[in-house]
A = this chain, B = another copy of it.
């Protein structure tokens, strides 16, 4: 900086003023400084600035299991929104959502003096770890529920699941079966709640046995096999809601293999709307989540907290996309 000042024939403070866009600098001085900056290829040192201002203009993002489509998209949304707001993003991708790993990551962010932290995960251990922590900077949760006091944004899982269930009941299905996500996932529970309450509201029987998956296509396949066996055993199962598209894909594969036709024999609805969903066999009816929007609201929320505002954002809405994996119930023989 002093080199620039010397070359432009001004003090370092004036250079600082130019760099930070202060108003009270004479236009010609400003120009002279800017030329010197360009000539010398000068870049201000963020660390030094952070030291004196106490702000790094960096957000910490801690996440688990980013290998799923949803979290990855949400991360993109977060990063873009943060960058647009002039913040850098430092990420920590945890292998598993243990409290210890979570604490470690947050600790590192605190040492880095990030201005705010966004935690992105749908698992209970992560949520619990978060609850126990009290970092000196705002910490908001994205898609992690259960925080009574901790600020959070999420997707309106319940309405999404209700939409899907209603669609299937509307097609004349007696009831809807559900292949749920992991028990320790808040997100999965939201979908179960929505599905169950819609069935109840419609007076449809609520299937006792709940099928569990772990979000992977492989677990969906297993669920599909189990379901097919029950259908061949004479059970009246004609409509299935799976908790995400990957599991729906596995389920579809299993039902196909067992000679069941979609949607003639069984209607299937997914959740997420992967870009690939229209190309499943058959094209998948599913519930779309706007992950990018979720990320954006997450950033909006930390930023608000950083300014001391107490924002309570609405959950991100979902939408049902009807494609070819759902059809009218066949008449019982």
Could you tell me which A residues sit within 8 Å of B by CB distance? 43-48, 50-51, 56, 58, 66-67, 72-73, 75-76, 79-80, 83, 88-93, 95, 107-108, 110-113, 216-218, 220-221, 246, 249-250, 252-253, 256, 275-276, 278-281, 283
Contacts and interface: CB of A to CB of B under 8 A. Distances in A.
Given A45-B113, A88-B112, A220-B279, 8 more contacts: A44-B111, A47-B50, A47-B56, A88-B92, A90-B91, A246-B276, A250-B276, A252-B279
Given A113-B45, A253-B281, A73 B67 contact: yes
Give the secondary structure class of A's interface: helix
A50 B108 CA distance: 14
20 contacts: A44-B111, A45-B111, A45-B113, A46-B112, A47-B47, A47-B112, A48-B51, A66-B75, A67-B73, A75-B93, A79-B93, A80-B95, A89-B92, A91-B91, A218-B275, A220-B279, A249-B276, A249-B279, A249-B280, A250-B276
A316 B85 CA distance: 37
Nearest to A60: B88
Nearest to A220: B279
A111 B46 contact: yes
A67 B76 contact: yes
Nearest to A224: B279
Contacts of A44: 111
Contact of A89 (B72, B90, B278, B283): B90
Contacts of A218: 275, 278-279
A45 B112 CA distance: 7
Contact of A216 (B43, B111, B253, B275): B275
Contact of A113 (B47, B83, B91, B279): B47
Contacts of A276: 217, 246, 249-250, 276
B51 A79 contact: no
Given A253-B279, A256-B281, A111 B80 contact: no
Contacts of A221: 279
Given A252-B281, A256-B281, A279-B217, A66 B76 contact: yes
Nearest to A281: B281
B51 A47 contact: yes
Contacts of A88: 90, 92, 108, 112
A164 to B, nearest CB: 21
